Amino acid sequence: MADGLNQTSEQRSQGAAASPLAIELIGINKHFGPVHANRDIHLQVRRGTVHGIVGENGAGKSTLMSILYGFYTADSGEIRVNGSPHKITDSRHALALGIGMVHQHFMLVDNFTVLENVVLGAEDSPLLNRTYAKARDTLKRLADDYELEVDPDAIIENLSVGQQQRVEILKALYRGAEVLILDEPTGVLTPAEADHLFRILRTLREEGKTIILITHKLREIMAITDEVSVMRQGAMVKTLETKSTSPGELAELMVGRRVLLRVEKGPSNPGKVLLEVENLVVTDDFKVPRVKGVSFSVRAGEIVGIAGVAGNGQSELLESVSGMRDQQSGVVRLNGTPLSLEGDDGAARARAAGLAHVPEDRLREGLVTAFSEWENSILGYQDRYGRGLGLDIALAQKTAEDYIKKFDIRPPNKDLKTANFSGGNQQKIVLAREMERDPDVLIVGQPTRGVDIGAIEFIHNQIIKMRDAGKAILLVSVELDEIRSLSDRILVLFDGQIVGEADPATADETELGLLMTGAHSPTATSAGPGTLPAHQTPLERGLEQMSVRDNAGKDAP
Amino acid sequence: MIKAPLPRWADVVLLPLLNVVLAFLIGGLIVLSVGQNPLRAVQVMLYGAFGYGTGLGYTLYYTTDFIFAGLAVSLAMQAGLFNIGAEGQAYISGLGVIFIALAFNGLHWAFMFPLMIVAAALFGAAWAFIPGYLQAKRGSHIVITTILFNFIAISIMSYLIARVLKPAGLTSDESAPIDAASRVLQLKTFIPFFKTAPVNITFFLAVAALFGFYWLIWRTKFGFAVRALGFNPTAANYAGISNQKMIMIVMALSGALVAMVAVNNVGGVQGRLIMNFVGGAGYVGIAVAFMGKGHPVGVALAALLFGMLYQGGSELAFSMPGITREMIITIQALVILFTGAMGDMLRNPVARLFALASPPVAEKR
């Protein structure tokens, strides 16, 4: 990431203050029922700049951008594009005004080619020949101008996530976008891909395009934006010039109080081995091996972090060790005793043996969002509530109330439907449930994905607390920063194998990045240290051996 | 599109009520278009269904069927399964009733009734278990298999009734009769008010099943697992709840519930196994479950509504010859259309009214 993020501030802000406004929002208000999602928002985005928008989940960033892009109409307020007011009624209208959007979850047809996706909805005539020819020319020109090279005839599902994102950008540019909105664009990218994206954005800015970047990564804001606007609870708190602010100040503005950006923890004090994984082989739903003979152990009082680019077998590893997914071969030992995990109720036996699991995706795996809060507080442990058939609801609710207090879950309402809690509070519900059962081993996947900065601090502290209480903790995260600041030992997973181990105190980011992309693995041809490999991800490399129908190379958003 | 939020009572009571009213309004227009008086038609229908003993008895008899079928579909629905096979499961259950009844023919009804319940439940459960097994272990979609199993059930039953169970010398396709003493007790024997109506003590079983259903789903560990599976199978797997086992158990229980339709009809009304005795109750159960949103209170009300439509409808066809059977079926179809398929049509307008009535409150985090 180094190359992409180390541009000097002089380079980036020249002329920013003087340029005219591309977008101006005046007094935007938007209600959803009783929720005031945007309150009296004023925003000025100058042409030819990168304008960052930061804020916690639910701060109203996405709503605001959806209003600008025509998904929603504001209750009141005015949108000015290049100085003249417009009522943007739908996204087609927004595009006509030169506003394009790259969504966090790509809006691509998976089994279409790049070319087909680009022209979809922008066909000139019922017969496509001429459109295709024109699009091909335009794509070639865009590729040359902005480093946006993608094979126009490649099928989307065979492309890496980074390339798919490039297709989204191409789609917007093909439709003549002058203002490009990017919603959390680096969430799914490898460091190298993110680096490439930033180079593209910089070129776009040089060509006079305007970019609005929504992100929660303050480092990216500092590195690429000219100006940054902070939102909190539906209101615009402040717009700052990036070079005259700091991550600390931004974080404070976002949360409304001082936050600690670094994790405070003492040295670890490892005891005996509690979790032992030996030669684990796991396949995915399509019988493709994703974990290929992994062995490691976690000791009491130790956090072992698994670093890796999403889609290198982390999910299958977690699911298998926690009993959700059957293993092909290998042994998982807990406290020296092998766990029997086969069958689709293996998770129950893993829990009974003292293994708690905070899953990667709380909405898909960890919670039943239609359940009330108290019901989710006992999910997985329901058999411990009540004798015989009956469920001891009073006891379950008491447990829930206890957790709400201990983990400061808000709103403190055990009867509220879980879907109505914010991401951070939902994650706290899961954490409380798994941590408060006094497990020997805690497996944590993406503990702070989609979680507010304030809650991140709390969650990290809880994990450290578990470690200090003598638990063995296995941590998987795609956020390298998180792995480095929490772990006592780092294992790097690439292509289903552990390709290296590092000490978080001494490991440097470039080195880890290289390991994560397989540059040091015995099979890959090594690039020299310090040079980033060409923009070929492990996925891309793997694709050469893959058939079209094989989904294995697809990343997991 | 975000589903508009509504107060729970409006969601459960007001919306279905509005839908039914709308269905009747359009049904009224149809009645009007053939030159009949829709108000009189409603009057005849209500009187026919509730106004006198025999009518009410018939309404409750139909309601019994629909409660069981509705609960059976609701149970599967709670687990995220769509059991379209209630019709066939009830039909096959008739075998259980007639086998046990003929085996112990003459036994007092008080002993026979529980035997019939168990036998019917076993047959219904076994028949519903097969699609459940195929779904759980083989991934064959439950909607497809249960539909197909309805046809298989019809064929098997036609063969068995006509070729195996039919006593020699009988001209119509039916089994040997159950002794009067062994038949399920009809309410008219101790409540003369019901005159000739077929409603029998299976009705009380249905009421008990409503309460039992609530207890099972919302007050037991099993119900917790069922609902977890229904809302989010991945989270159920995460929680150590075996999806496969649950699918098979739930389908078997669903079949056992709808099997009581056979007790009501074969044991309580016909006193013998006849062709097609289920008469579509299994399909009505789907509408009942949807209208009742899988909740026993809703199922009870919806079952009563359809019981009324069935009984009042026959009465209507009888006393107003201008209104044909087909027209009554049309009205029933309108109710299903508005409450089931278009059940959410009025949601947004109603939600907007509610939003207007209550001013936006201060934002909560």
Chain A residues with beta carbon closer than 8 angstroms to that of B232: 364, 367-370
Residue numbers of A between 225 and 284 with CB closer than 8 Å to B: 233-234
Q: Residue A357 and residue B238: Cβ atoms within 8 Å?
A: yes
Is a pLDDT exceeding 50 seen at residue A4? no
- CB nearest A379 (choices: B4, B239, B245): B239
Whether residue A1 has pLDDT greater than 70: no
For residue B363, the chain A residue with the least C-alpha distance is: A35
Determine the residue of chain A that is closest to B361 in CA distance.
A34
How many C-beta neighbours within 10 Å does residue B87 have? 28
Task: State residue A176 phi and psi, 5-degree precision.
Answer: 80, 30
pLDDT digits (tens, 9 = 90+) for A86-96: 998 888 899 89
Predicted model pTM: 0.78
Q: How many CB atoms lie within 10 A of CB A508?
A: 10
Residue A161 has pLDDT above 70, yes or no: yes
B299 in a domain, yes or no? yes
Please tell me which of the candidates B238, B364, B365 has its beta carbon nearest to residue A324. Answer: B238
Query: How does DSSP assign B182-244, residue by residue?
Result: GSPPBGGGT-GGGTT---BTHHHHHHHHHHHHHHHHHHBHHHHHHHHHHH-HHHHHHTT--HH
Task: Judge if the upstream peptide bond of residue A20 is cis by omega within 30 degrees of 0.
Answer: no
Interface test with A, best of B1, B6, B224 (most A CBs within 10 A): B224
The answer to whether residue A175 is domain-embedded is: yes
Answer yes or no: do B231 and A32 touch at CB < 8 A.
Answer: no
Question: For the sheet containing A50-55, what is the strand order?
Answer: A99-102, A179-183, A210-214, A50-55, A227-232, A235-241
Determine phi and psi for A62, rounding to 5 degrees. -65, -35
Residue B78 has phi, psi (to 5 degrees) of -60, -30
Q: Which residue did the predictor score with more confidence, A423 or A191?
A: A423
- Tell me, yes or no, if A391 comes closer than 8 A to chain B by beta carbon: yes
Indicate the pLDDT class of residue A12, thresholds 50, 70 and 90.
very low
Residue B257 has pLDDT above 90, yes or no: yes
Q: Which residues of B touch A369 (CB under 8 A)?
A: 231-232
**Tens digits of residue pLDDT in A369-409:** 999 999 999 999 999 999 899 999 999 999 999 999 999 99
Residue B190 in tokens: 């101790």
- A364/B235 Cβ within 8 A: yes
Contact status of A323 with chain B (Cβ, < 8 Å): yes
State whether A103 and A174 are in the same domain. Answer: yes
Domain assignment present for residue A264? The answer is no
CB contact under 8 Å between B223 and A391, yes or no, is yes
Could you tell me if A298 and A476 are in contact, meaning their C-beta atoms sit under 8 angstroms apart?
no
Is B362 part of a structural domain of the chain? no
pLDDT number for residue A541: 38
| Beta carbon pairs, A and B, within 8 Å | 100
Nearest to A556 by CA among A277, A387, A316, A354: A316
In whole numbers, what is the pLDDT of chain B averaged over residues? 91
pLDDT at residue number B241: 96
* Residue A4 vs residues A192, A202, A215, A521, A528: alpha-carbon distances, Å: 9, 9, 16, 24, 19
In this complex, is the C-beta atom of B241 within 8 Å of any C-beta atom belonging to chain A?
yes
Query: Are A191 and A123 in a shared domain?
Result: yes
Please indicate if any CB of chain A lies within 8 Å of the CB of B235. yes
Q: pLDDT value at position A196?
A: 86
- In-domain check, residue A388: yes
Residues in chain B within 8 Å Cβ distance of A322: 238
Residue A361 sits in the same domain as residue A237: no
Q: Tell whether A56 is covered by a domain.
A: yes
A246 and A351 in a single domain? The answer is no
Report the pLDDT value the prediction gives residue A261, as an integer from 0 to 100.
64
Q: In this predicted structure, what is the pLDDT of residue A542?
A: 40
Tell me which chain B residue has its CA closest to the CA of residue A351: B240
Please give the Cα distance from A316 to A306 (Å, whole number): 13
Res. A531: pLDDT tops 60: no
The verdict on a CB contact (< 8 Å) between A383 and B221 is: yes
Query: Hey, CA dihedral for B315, B316, B318, B320, is it positive or negative?
Result: positive
Q: Please name the residue of chain B whose CA is at the shortest distance from the CA of residue A379.
A: B239
- Please report the pLDDT score of residue A234 as a whole number: 87
Is A432 domain-assigned?
Answer: yes
Strand partners, A338: A333
Asked whether residue B112 is assigned to any structural domain, the reply reads: yes
| Structural domains of chain A, count | 2
The single-letter DSSP state of residue A371 is S
**Domain membership flag for residue B251:** yes
What span, in angstroms and rounded, lies between the C-alpha atoms of A238 and A251? 12
Q: Which of A32, A349, A368 sits opposite B231 (nearest CB)?
A: A368
Q: How many residues does chain B have?
A: 365
Contact A23, A86 (CB under 8 A): no
Same domain, A115 and A58: yes
Cα separation, B29 vs B38, in Å, equals 8
Angle ∠(A284,A287,A290) on CA atoms, nearest 5: 45
pLDDT in tens, A403-439: 999 999 988 999 999 988 888 889 999 999 999 999 9
The answer to whether residue B316 is domain-embedded is yes
Radius of gyration of chain A from its Cα atoms, rounded to whole angstroms? 24
Q: What is the ipTM of this complex?
A: 0.86
Chain A touched by B139 (CB under 8 Å): no
Closest CA to B84 of B266, B254, B334: B254
| Residue A321 shares a structural domain with residue A393 | yes
Domain of residue B148 covers 52-354
Burial state string for A249-272 with b = 16 or more CB within 10 A and e = fewer than 16: ebbebbbeeeeeeebebeebebee
Distance CA B247, CA A344 (A): 12
* Same domain membership, residue A180 and residue A57: yes
- The whole-angstrom distance between B12's CA and the closest CA on chain A is 16
Q: Kindly report, residue by residue over A287-305, the tens digit of the pLDDT.
A: 889 999 999 999 999 999 9
How many Cα atoms sit within 13 Å of B11 on the Cβ side?
Answer: 9
Q: What is the CATH classification number for the domain harbouring A524? A: 3.40.50.300
At B134 the three-state DSSP class reads helix
Q: Tell me the pLDDT band of A15, cut-offs 50, 70 and 90.
A: very low
Is there a contact between B221 and A386 if contact means CB atoms under 8 Å apart?
yes
The C-alpha of B14 sits at a distance from chain A's nearest C-alpha, in angstroms, of 20
In chain A, residues with a C-beta closer than 8 Å to the C-beta of B222 are 389
What mean pLDDT comes out for the span A45-54?
94
CATH number at residue B62: 1.10.3470
- Residues in B touching A422 (Cβ below 8 Å): 365
- Average confidence (pLDDT) over A195-218: 89
Q: Which residues of A touch B243 (CB under 8 A)?
A: 344
Task: Output B328 or A349, whichever has higher pLDDT.
Answer: A349
Confidence category of residue A537, pLDDT binned at 50, 70, 90: very low
Q: Are residues A480 and A394 in the same domain?
A: yes
Measured between beta carbons, which residues in chain A are less than 8 angstroms from residue B353?
none
Name the residue among A34, A233, A346 with its Cβ closest to that of B365.
A233
- Whether A394 and B250 have beta carbons less than 8 Å apart is answered as no
In a domain, A447, yes or no: yes
Residue B44 lies in a domain: no
Domain that holds residue A78: 2-255
Segment A270-296 mean pLDDT: 92
Q: What is the pLDDT of residue A449?
A: 82
In a domain, A333, yes or no: no
Tell me, yes or no, whether B87 lies in a domain: yes
Beta strands A472-476 and A35-46 are: unpaired
Chain A residue nearest residue B233, CA to CA: A365
Distance CA A169, CA A149 (A): 11
* DSSP summary character for residue A113: B
Tell me the per-residue pLDDT of B55-82, one tens digit each, with 9 for 90 and over. Answer: 999 999 999 999 999 999 999 999 999 9
pLDDT band (50, 70, 90) for residue B5: low
| Claim to verify: residue A246 and residue A321 sit in the same structural domain | no
Q: What is the mean pLDDT of chain A?
A: 84
CA–CA separation, A552 and B253 (whole Å): 39
- Bridge partners of A280, per DSSP, are A294
Higher-confidence residue of A514 and B29: namely: B29
* Cβ atoms of residues B149 and B111 within 8 Å: no
Contacts of B213 in chain A (CB under 8 A): none
Dihedral sign (CA A34, A37, A42, A47): negative
Closest-CA residue of A relative to B364 is: A35
pLDDT at A519: 66
> Chain B contact for A530, CB < 8 A?
no
User: Which residues from chain B sit within 8 angstroms of residue A234, using beta carbons?
Assistant: 363
- Cβ-count burial of B53 within 10 angstroms (0-12 exposed, 13-18 middle, 19+ buried)? middle
Residues 409-428 of A with CB under 8 A from B: 410-411, 422
Amino acid at A307: A
**Confidence grade of residue A453 (pLDDT, cut at 50, 70, 90):** confident
Do B59 and B271 contact (CB within 8 A), yes or no? no
Cβ neighbours of residue A218 under 8 Å, at least 6 residues apart? Answer: A54, A247, A250, A251
Please indicate, yes or no, whether residues A132 and A211 belong to a single structural domain of this protein.
yes
Compare CB distances from A391 to B219, B231, B243 and report the shortest one's residue.
B219
Q: Could you tell me if A73 lies within 8 Å of chain B, comparing CB atoms?
A: no
With a CB cutoff of 8 Å and minimum separation 6, the contacts of A274 are A298, A299, A300, A334, A335, A440, A441, A471, A472
Q: Are A344 and B232 in contact (CB < 8 Å)?
A: no
Q: Which residue has the tokens 């002089």?
A: A10
Instruction: Assess if residue A538 is contained within a domain.
Output: no
Q: Closest chain B residue to A37 measured between Cα atoms?
A: B363
The Cα diameter of chain B in Å comes to 80
User: What pLDDT, on the 0 to 100 scale, is given for residue A7?
Assistant: 45
Nearest-Cα residue of chain B relative to residue A386: B221
Both A208 and A316 in one domain: the answer is no
Q: Say yes or no for a CB contact (<8 Å) between B220 and A391.
A: yes
Residues 11-70 of A with CB under 8 A from B: 31-36, 58
Residue A144, CA distances (Å) to A98, A137, A177, A204, B317 in order = 21, 11, 17, 12, 78
Q: Which two tokens stand for residue A439?
A: 């497990």
Which residues of chain B are within 8 Å of residue A31 when distances are taken between CB atoms?
360
Same domain, A424 and A360: yes
Contact A348 B239 (CB under 8 A): yes
What are the two backbone dihedrals, phi and then psi, of residue A295, each rounded to the nearest 5 degrees? -130, 135
Question: Which has more pLDDT, A352 or A530?
Answer: A352
Q: How far is the alpha carbon of B364 from chain A, nearest alpha carbon, in Å? A: 7
- Residue B47 in any domain: the answer is no
Task: Say yes or no to pLDDT of B132 above 90.
Answer: yes
- Does position A549 have pLDDT exceeding 80, yes or no? no
Shortest CA gap B51–chain A (Å): 42
Cβ–Cβ of B240/A323 closer than 8 Å?
A: yes
Q: From CA B15, how far away is CA B27, in angstroms rounded?
A: 18
Please write the tens of the pLDDT for every residue from A221-231: 888 999 999 99
Number of domains within chain B: 1
Of A345, A368, A370, the CB nearest to B240: A345
Question: Which tokens belong to B157?
Answer: 């039953």
